[in-house]
Structure 1
Amino acid sequence: MNKKLSNKYLIIAPSWLGDLIMSQSLLKELKKQDPNCTIDVYAPKYTMPILDRMEEISGKLINPFDHGTFDLKERFKEGRKLAKNNYDTVIVLPNSLKSALIALFSKVKDRRGFKGESRYFILNNMRCNKNDFPLMVQRYVALAFDKNIVKTAKDLPKFAYPKLTVNKPDEEKIKELGLDFSRPALVLGCGANYGPAKLWPVEYFAKISSLWIKQGGSVIGLGSKKDIPTVQQIFSNIEDEYKPFFTDIAGKTNLTEALDIVGQCTAAVCNDSGLMHTVAAADIPQVCIFGSTSTNYTPPLSDKAICVESDEPCHPCFNRTCKYGHYNCLKKIAPEYVFEKLMSLLDKKRG
């Protein structure tokens, strides 16, 4: 009797960092089912360093298309190039039609994904029941199973959360950034590429920073180049006596440098963002702020996280900006309350 060969998977990954990190739960499930399977991930270039920290991945392939770019001719070429790798299964995680076209042109026989933008006949192993899997991570993991057996989230077995490999930060980089971990460090995830409806006010982050430093800690303002003005505003709102213990490194690290720095921290306070999911995958305690978005869709996948979510009647709207202009879903989450939650989380960890 011939032994069944292990599957060769192609994963067409999401472009958002947080979604990409959550997709590791799918990779872990595929490896659990078939430890010898091959998993190649097709993802944007900027995510490659993070993929290096996912031990389940066999190969990385760069998705060259900018967000929103269609370019049917080039997508056909990409698909035909991928076809040479002879994959058994391609799993399409983004909802877009254009991402599914890559799968179609790759001529992989088993093309899996959720319906998304009316992808009938493009995905031949398609699920049309998103509502039966409320959490994004549940939708991802469901694609590892036969849709006739795992029909709803209740049918899913317990699955593993993302867990990125965290290394000790480079000493020269730590020195260059002016970081000192002799005091317990709190990292701030104060950005969110999605839009202002995810951004907790800068003065609230400043208050949290002062409260943490007052208790003997230090604070790290982390983020991309887009977050530089936000971190600068937080710093300017901190009481002068506490400013020497605040280090602004926004825009000064790449993704894996940021991950390794997070791994040295005691705790974090984050908006619903890619950094929130990075902190969760680094296994660091955090309090997460949810304004326009909901924990019923993309919560941090960690048992060391506490989510603080708005109770405004318009929540969740999932809009990038507040249609009423007041952003009460964020403004009514007081920094003192968040700090109390943070302290209770750390007390629980110590206990």
Structure 2
Amino acid sequence: MSTSETGNSLIIAPQWIGDAVMTEPLLRRLHARGERLTVGALPWVAPVYRAMPQVAEVIDFPFAHGGLQFKARRAIAKRIAGQFDKAYVLPNSLKSALLPFLASIPVRIGYLGEARVGLLTHRLKNPSNKPPMVAFYSALSGEDGLDADRPQLHMSAADVEHTLQGLGLQRGGYHVFAPGAEYGPAKRWPARYFSELAAKLGLPVLLLGSGKEAALCDEIAAPVNAAQAGKCINFAGKTSLLQALCLIAASKSTVSNDSGLMHVAAAFGVPQVAIFGSSSPLHTPPLSDRAKVLWLKTDPSYQPPLDCAPCFARECPLGHTRCLNDLTVARVLENL
């Protein structure tokens, strides 16, 4: 790939929090070689990029899930025309490549996908296997040594302290659980296990997630609070993503499924236990020395072996979800 390594670059961000975190090493590489970075991101992902010091500007895209939304993309393209030398299109969809094309950005880099050959000037072939996602995104830089990079996020001390003070919390004075996984139940450790774990911990537990996960978090919190009033606090759908980032960054530890917030905790270097079920830590691991991954697939003492894993299914095709149901509270507790 032959492109200049300076100038103004537009990054078209992915739409999921975990994927956004895993693009950070790419952005760090681009910034280090002199590119000024502006990220275009959907509002629910944009705060992740504001936690990356190498990003000069973040544009909140007013797009919704689904649909081409051509008029909205064309309007933004007209507004930014002439401002950028290069665009990196991180998602594989046609619509994500449309805006840089309409803005006539001279160099447009991305993976082949969804019949968008004419929209990109520099095209990488999609790998046939499932590579680690950090390396997948970092390859768009055209550089080598991609496996050594780990995502890093940085919150300002002022933002963290403001969030903690507003909620009456102290740094390191609580644990965070992220019990959701939007992909499906085959990625979610049972709610009753999260409840049992919370009851055994000495500090309060904050439950984080989207509004869709509020009922799940209520289910976790109710039995704990019945015995220990106020021990579990359900913040699902009640915090902004910025506040959630601050709460994770200042936590004693984090326990989560394979989810976007798992990658957030890893990028902050928070002690964490990451629980894997139908997905694989070989593809989307939490990249942190302080992360402990629990996956029964690779546990030689677990019998009979999980030959079905990873299935990458939303629900267990065999109906037993052994990969999660057989991962005990005691096992998670001993790794915290």
Q: Which of 193, 214, 239 is the matching residue for 1:204?
A: 193
Paired position in structure 2 for 1:347: none
Matched, 1:97 2:98: no
1:102-251 map, 5 Å: 102-131=99-128, 134-145=131-142, 150=144, 155-156=145-146, 158-167=148-157, 174=164, 177=167, 179=169, 184-213=173-202, 217-238=203-224, 240-251=226-237
Task: Say if 2:160 and 2:250, in contact at 8 Å, map to a contact too.
Answer: no
Report the CA distance shift for 1:43/1:304 in structure 2 as closer, same or farther (over 3 A): same
Of 239-248 and 280-289, deviating more is: 239-248
The offset of 1:68, in angstroms, is 1.3
Moved more, 47-56 or 289-298: 47-56
Q: Which residue of 2 aligns with 1:304?
A: 290
Contact 2:150 2:287 in 1 (8 A): no
Superposition deviation, residue 224 in structure 1: 2.1
- Tell me what 2:301 maps to: none
- Cα RMSD (Å) of the superposition? 2.4
Amino acid in the other structure paired with 1:210? A
Q: Which stretch has the larger CA shift, 60-69 or 169-178?
A: 169-178
Q: Structure 1 residues 319, 49: CA separation in 2 closer, same or farther (over 3 Å shift)?
A: same
Structure 2 residue 43 is matched with structure 1 residue 45: yes
CA distance in 2, matches of 1:285, 1:42: 31
Write the distance in 1 (CA, Å) between the matches of 2:79 and 2:129. 35
What SS does the corresponding residue of 1:326 show, helix, strand or coil? coil
Secondary structure of the structure 2 residue equivalent to 1:130: coil
**Alignment partner of 1:320 is 2:317:** no
Q: Which secondary structure does the structure 2 equivalent of 1:30 belong to?
A: helix
Check conservation: 2:180, 2:257, Cα contact below 8 A. Answer: yes
What is the letter of the counterpart of residue 154 of structure 2?
Answer: L
One-letter amino acid matched to 1:140: Y
Instruction: Spell out, residue by residue over 1:280-328, the C-alpha distance to the aligned partner (whole angstroms, 9 max, x if none).
Output: 1222110001111111221112221111124222222222222333322
Distance in 1, matches of 2:318 and 2:74, equals 43
> Quick one: structure 1 residues 160 and 274, their matched pair in 2 at CA, closer, same or farther if it must change by over 3 Å?
closer
| Corresponding residue number in structure 2 for 1:345 | none
CA distance in 2, matches of 1:66, 1:144: 28
**How much has 1:66 moved relative to structure 2?**
1.0
User: Aligned equivalents of 1:77 and 1:100: distance in 2?
Assistant: 15
Q: Distance in 2 between matches of 1:42 and 1:275?
A: 21
Is the contact between residue 163 and residue 281 of structure 1 (CA under 8 Å) also seen in structure 2? Answer: yes
Name the counterpart of 1:68.
66
* 1:287 maps to 2:273: yes
Call closer, same or farther: CA 1:81–1:209 in 2, change over 3 Å: same
Q: How many angstroms apart in 2 are the aligned matches of 1:260 and 1:74?
A: 32
Q: 1:5 to 1:143 in 2, by over 3 A?
A: closer
Which one of 238, 248, 253 corresponds to residue 239 of structure 2? 253
| Distance (whole Å) between structure 2 residues aligned to residue 255 and residue 126 of structure 1 | 33
Counterpart contact for 1:223–1:250, Cα < 8 Å: yes
Structure 2 Cα separation of the partners of residues 160 and 32 of structure 1: 15
SS across alignment from 1:91: strand
Structure 2 Cα separation of the partners of residues 248 and 178 of structure 1 = 14
Partner residue in 2 for 1:23 = 23
Unaligned runs of 5+ in 1: 343-351
Q: Percent identity?
A: 35
What's the offset of the Cα at 1:48? Answer: 3.0
Distance 2:109 2:249 in 1: 34
Give 1:94 deviation, angstroms: 0.7
- TM-score between both structures, scaled by the size of structure 2: 0.88
After superposition, the Cα gap between the structure-2 partners of 1:263 and 1:5, relative to the gap in structure 1 and judged at 3 Å, is closer
Structure 1's 39 and 265: CA in aligned 2 closer, same or farther, altered over 3 A? same
Letter in 2 for 1:119: R
Written as runs of structure 1 = structure 2, the 5 A alignment for 1:255-274 is: 255-274=241-260
Aligned equivalents of 1:109, 1:22: Cα separation in 2: 26
Q: CA 1:72/1:326 → structure 2, altered by over 3 Å: closer, same or farther? A: same
Structure 2 Cα separation of the partners of residues 107 and 275 of structure 1: 35
How many pairs are equivalent? 325
CA contact (8 A) 2:6 2:33 kept: no
